[in-house]
Each structure stands twice: as structure tokens, then as C-alpha cells.
Amino acid sequence: MKWLTEFLSKRLPVLILLISVITYFSSYYLKVPSWIPSLLLGIVIFFTGLSMELDVIKGIRRKKRELFMASFLKWTITVFISIGMAYLFFSSKPEIAAGFILSGTVPSATAATLYTFLAGGNTSLVIVSTLIDVAISPIVTPLSLFGITDASVTISFFDLLKSFLLIVVLPLSAGIVIQRSFPDSKYHAKSATKFGSSLALLLTVHIIVGNGRESIQQEISILPILCLAIFIQVVFPMIASYFISKKLSISEEDSRAILFQVGLCNSALAAILAFDFIGELAAIAPIINMIINLSVGSWISNYFARKNIVKVIEIRQNAEAIK
């Protein structure tokens, strides 16, 4: 089981792409009730709360400026670029535009913590910022979608808010409460979280692509510009937030954490919300966003990891030269 868990987590971007392509070209897919993907993601978020390092919240109090910047940059740069590009490129296709906006206005992805750790960043900053995201997103997400609605896209503020509560807030809160009541539970939940997260994402992608295959075929001509727009939606906030943090003299490890916190959104949640409240077509953007943000995030974390190794080697060489 351990090797399977490691395989799924390390190869997740490639597996998501493969599942998407195979499902799209296959005549068969897993047909399940519409609430199943929501349940799967809720279970993943429950395990996230169960395995979350809550002690870091106490230690982050000394980094109020960094915490403010992580939240501020996410809810300005990422949100504004998502809304702006949706109107610029997809104003004539409200379902696509709504799914595109959803991709940039949901809480940060669980992968942000993993990539921050691999990059040598401050994971505590990401964890606490994620908790703030959970409080902000249910308000910002519906407000961001108000202007995009028309006869074919009708979105209820209260329905979206209810979904956030059921899929994100309640499972996360339940996981945290159980962890506080039974502290040892978090150590047993980590492997289950890694395996369950990967499997749930793959199943969610399979179900949504299968259900939306006909809609995708109808809009196949728009996929190139959609992929380009999503690439900008993911990469620009990462680069901008990192350099803004460095200009403000925020430490390297905190700047790396802010980069992943701002750029990586929970696209699985966005896909589920799009599928439930807008339509199959709206789920295309979140699925593509999921593939791109996992792939780009993996590449950037590996880049920083290599820099860390080179730095360690240089320090050792200098130390030996002094001797």
C-alpha cells in the first residue's frame, strides 16, 4: 500500500492528465449520483483537518505581516486576474467564464503545503493562510460570479455558501475537533490523507470529464485559448506574489510559501461547484487548472529544492576551504 500511495502522490499531475484523456476518448465511465464527488472531496478535507499541524498556529503569531501578505495577495491578484481574464476572453461564453472564475476564487489547494515543504518554504504560513481562506472564500466566490450570470448561468449565493459549509467548513472543522480530542489520531491519518486525496482527485476528474464529454466536444475549438488563459491564471500570481514578497524584504522561505499559497487553488472543489451549480461545460476550466497548477507547482518546488541542494554543497565546500 505504501508504494501505491507514493506512486499516486508523486505522479498525480501525469495521472490526472491520463485519466482526463482516457475518459474523454472512452465510451464508458463511472456513472454515480451527483453528490458522490462532493462526498469524496469532503472526506479528503476531513482527513486534512485531522492531520493538520495545529501547533503551528501558535508559532505563526510572530509573522503577522507575512500572513497578511499571503492572504491579501491571494484575494487580490488571483481573484482580479481571474475575473479580468474571464471577461476578456470568455464574455460570450458565460459557463466557461464562470468556471474560470471559480478556479481562482476557491481556497488554496492541499498541494500548496506539500510543494512548500519540498521547496524549503514555511509550511506553517501556508497552513494558517489556508484556514483564513476557508473563512474568506465562501463570501468572495459568490460575489465574484454575480456579474457573469445570465439566462444560461444562474447561481444562488446561498446554495454556494451551503456547499462551502458542507464540503469544506464542516469536514475541516470535524477533523480539527477530533484531532484536538484524540491527539494521536493525526499520526495515523497522514498516509490515509495522501492516498485518499490522490484517489479522490482522480475519481473526481474521471466522473466530471465523463459527464461533460459532450459539452467539451461542442467547445473543442476554445480549448487552446482556455489552456493559455489558465496557464497565465496560475503562473502570473505565483511570480508576482514571490517578487512582491521579496521586494518587501520577506524572508526566502516565507516568500516561497506565499508563492504556492497565492498560485495554487483547490481546483477539485471548483470543478465540483461548477458541475453542481453551473453545468458540465463550466467544469472544464477547473479540471485544466488542476492539471496545470499541479504540474507547474511540482516543477517550481523541484527548482527550489535543487537550489537548496546547491546551496548546501557550496556551504560545505566553503567550510572545507576554510579548514
% of the chain at pLDDT higher than 70? 84
Please report whether residue 204 resides in a domain: yes
User: Ranked by mean pLDDT, which of 94-108, 127-141, 166-180, 262-276 comes out on top?
Assistant: 94-108
User: Ranked by mean pLDDT, which of 17-31, 114-128, 243-257, 277-291 comes out on top?
Assistant: 243-257
Task: Band the pLDDT of 293: cuts 50, 70, 90.
Answer: confident
Please report whether residue 167 resides in a domain: yes
Please report, in angstroms and rounded to a whole number, the separation of the first and last CA atoms in the chain. 47
Please report whether residue 323 resides in a domain: no
Q: What's the average model confidence in pLDDT over 135-141?
A: 85
Please report whether residue 152 resides in a domain: yes
Q: Is residue 150 scored above 60 in pLDDT?
A: no
Please report whether residue 321 resides in a domain: no
For 108, list phi and psi in degrees, rounded to 5. Answer: -65, 155
Query: Who contacts 42 (Cβ-Cβ below 8 Å, separation ≥6)?
Result: 166, 167, 168, 170, 171
* Cβ–Cβ < 8 Å for 144, 82: yes
Q: What's the average model confidence in pLDDT over 234-251?
A: 95
User: Ranked by mean pLDDT, which of 135-144, 174-183, 250-259 comes out on top?
Assistant: 250-259
Q: Is residue 279 scored above 90 in pLDDT?
A: no
Check residue 184 and give its pLDDT.
72
Q: Is residue 229 scored above 90 in pLDDT?
A: yes
Query: Who contacts 289 (Cβ-Cβ below 8 Å, separation ≥6)?
Result: 103, 230, 233, 234, 265, 267, 270
Task: Band the pLDDT of 171: cuts 50, 70, 90.
Answer: confident
Can you read off the three cell numbers belonging to residue 211?
459527464
pTM of the model: 0.81
- Which amino acid type is present at position 82? S
Least confident of 88-97, 138-147, 168-177, 191-200: 191-200
Check residue 78 and give its pLDDT.
94
CATH number of residue 77's parent domain = 1.20.1530.20
Q: Is residue 151 scored above 60 in pLDDT?
A: no
Please report whether residue 322 resides in a domain: no
What is the tens place of the pLDDT at every residue in 14-45? 888 888 888 888 878 888 787 788 887 788 77
Domain count, the chain: 1
Q: What's the average model confidence in pLDDT over 282-305?
A: 86
Look up the domain containing 28 and give its range: 2-316
Least confident of 42-46, 88-92, 170-174, 243-247: 42-46
Least confident of 215-229, 265-279, 299-313: 299-313
What is the tens place of the pLDDT at every residue in 80-127? 999 999 999 998 888 899 999 999 998 887 778 778 877 888 888 888
Please report whether residue 20 resides in a domain: yes
Please report whether residue 199 resides in a domain: yes
* Cβ–Cβ < 8 Å for 270, 83: no
The 10 Å Cβ neighbour count of residue 122 is: 25
Instruction: Burial-class residue 108 by CB neighbours within 10 Å (0-12, 13-18, 19+).
Output: buried
